[in-house]
Amino acid sequence: MQFWVLPNSGTQTVAHLRALLMEFKREHPDTRVDISVLTRDTLWRRLFECQREPRTTEVADLVQIPHYWTALFARLGILAELSSMDGPSSLEEWIEPLRPHCVLPGTSKIYSVPWCMDVTALHYRVDHLREVCANPDEQLSKWDGFVAACEALAEKRRGGNYFPLENANLRGSVNIRDLLPCIWNRGGDIFNTECTRAAVHRDESLRGMEDFLKLFSKGLMPLMRERGSLGTMLEGKASMVLSRRLSQSVLPAGSQPDFEVRTLPVPGEIFGSHSFLSSYNLCITKSSANQRDAMTLLKWLSRPTVQLAYSRLVHAFPPSAHGFEQFIFSSHERMRTYAGIVAGARSLPNVMVCGTYVAVLDQVISRLAMELVKGTYSSGMLMQEMVKVQVEMDYLMSLYGD
């Protein structure tokens, strides 16, 4: 059976999955699982190829997709309807905010189920921050205070390949998912309320994007550097990270740091503090020749205990209601930290054009990142690009609106 996954834990993805699936192999010794780790771009292309050339294309049986792809690939007939197979007939066992992303919009037909999820938060080294502010928790609650703290840290710890912020983007670059909390905190969004028009060109959305991009232009966060060439929080080469993973992700396994890492919501702006909640869902392809095996593995991976184990491995959050409760109530500190973050979390809508929209924005933001690296970036460039995106997306929504 072919299982396509996203690089959930970078170069460790296959190792982590093999470890997780050992128990499954004991239970199902005759089921062979071949894992392919694909980037979003490759996965996107290959799923479209499944539709275009179903006879010649290698088709996965089980696929991990970002939650906001469900509507698109269900509508294109690439995904199998799980609720019509021997799959889940209800979404009760997953936490409520993730449920709308599992179905074909406007129906109760289930096409994907959550596997793991992540939420943006700010993790910081208490010892470093105390050097530049008296009350880090308070100062880091507002975007201005956060930027001021970054600037103070940059000044104080200048040189030696130090950056106040680690870049948590796996690509070492920047994408729309990194920018979303800042856009929402400014009162902007990429869609209008009804998800019928693009809103990415509006002032508040542009201001939010600018907030994040300024971290690069001010040299507070590295951009497009050789991975591994940059220092980590553990080495003292960074003091903070805006990451969607848990704070443990910033510390290598087995490390015993002599400093404390604290977690806060994304620093807020006039419209409060929002996090980006993203779920990674599992689905079965319609053209799979091993749908039965794929369903067996999907069900196994959906067990709350398995989800909890996998989330621990990749420092993500378990999406099942039971697993999430176990996670959040495991310590008072965790409950205090994450209750607020999750309450302020928002997600991308599960509408047909969302995947295309994110892909187009990522292409544009990649180009802007190059301009940032070259030092030729300007706000005018951002506005110009977003107006073009808005025109294209409005047109696409008029064609493929749900």
Partner 1 sequence: MSQPTELLYKYHKEINQPFPDSRALLSRALELMAQHLKLDQVCFFAWEPMESLLSLQLVWRGGACMDLEEDIAVADDSPLRTVLESGGVYVSQNLNYPAIYVPVRWQVSGRQPAGRPAAAKMTRMGALRMERLGKSWSFSSREKELARGLADELAQNLSHAELDQFNREQLGRANALNELTAVFASSIRVDDGLKLILQGIQKYFGFDRVRLYLVNHAEHKLKGELSADARGHVRSLAHEQIPLQPGVHRFADIVLGNSSGDTVTDKYRDTVLYLPLTVQGKSAGLLIVDNLLSQQPILHDDLVSLSSFAGQIALAVDNAMLFERVQELSQYDELTKLPLRRYFNERFQEEMYRAERFSQPMALIWMDIDFFKEVNDTYGHQVGDQVLREVGRVILSNLRKIDFPCRYGGDEIIILLPQSKADEARAIAGRLMQEIRDIRIPVPFAKVGEIKITVSQGIATYPGDASSGEELLTRADEALYWVKSHGRGTVAQYSEAFGKKASTGSQLFVEGEGSRTKNRQQK
Sheet holding 121-125, edge to edge: 165-166, 240-243, 121-125, 261-264
Determine the interface stretch with partner 1 among 4-12, 83-91, 108-116, 321-329 (rule: CB under 8 A): 4-12
Q: Does 77 bind partner 1 (CB under 8 A)?
A: yes
CA–CA gap between residue 365 and residue 369 (Å, rounded): 6
Q: Does 135 bind partner 1 (CB under 8 A)?
A: no
Q: Does 104 bind partner 1 (CB under 8 A)?
A: no
To partner 1, the closest distance from the beta carbon of 222 in angstroms equals: 10
111 close to 102: Cβ distance less than 8 angstroms: yes
Share in percent of the chain as helix, strand, coil (round to 5): 45, 15, 40
Give the pairing type, strands 345-346 and 275-284.
parallel
Dihedral of CA atoms 296, 300, 303, 308 in degrees, nearest 10, equals -150
To partner 1, the closest distance from the beta carbon of 46 in angstroms equals: 10
Compute φ and ψ for 359, nearest 5 degrees. Answer: -65, -45
**Which lies closer to partner 1 via its Cβ, residue 8 or residue 275?**
8
Site string for partner 1, 267-306 (x = CB under 8 A): ----------------------------------------
Site for partner 1 in 324-383 (CB under 8 A): 353, 356, 359-360, 363, 366, 369-370, 373-374
**Which lies closer to partner 1 via its Cβ, residue 135 or residue 398?**
398
Find the helix packing angle between 304-314 and 321-328, rounded to 10°: 50
383 close to 364: Cβ distance less than 8 angstroms: no
To partner 1, the closest distance from the beta carbon of 166 in angstroms equals: 15
Task: Identify each DSSP E strand in 127-260 by its residue range.
Answer: 165-166, 240-243
Q: Which position among 13, 31, 287, 379 is part of the footprint of partner 1 (CB under 8 A)?
A: 13
280 close to 317: Cβ distance less than 8 angstroms: no
- Identify the CA nearest to 107 among candidates 138, 74, 132: 74
Site string for partner 1, 19-58 (x = CB under 8 A): ----------------xxxxx-xx-xx--x--xxx--x-x
CA–CA gap between residue 399 and residue 251 (Å, rounded): 46
**Which lies closer to partner 1 via its Cβ, residue 122 or residue 361?**
361
CA angle 140, 275, 321 (to 5 degrees): 125
Q: Which position among 197, 214, 225, 303 is part of the footprint of partner 1 (CB under 8 A)?
A: 225
Q: Does 236 bind partner 1 (CB under 8 A)?
A: no
Residue type, 387: V
Q: Which position among 25, 156, 336, 388 is part of the footprint of partner 1 (CB under 8 A)?
A: 388
Footprint on this chain of partner 1 (rule: CB under 8 A): 7, 10-11, 13-15, 35-39, 41-42, 44-45, 48, 51-53, 56, 58, 72, 75-77, 170-173, 223-229, 353, 356, 359-360, 363, 366, 369-370, 373-374, 388, 392, 395-396, 399-400
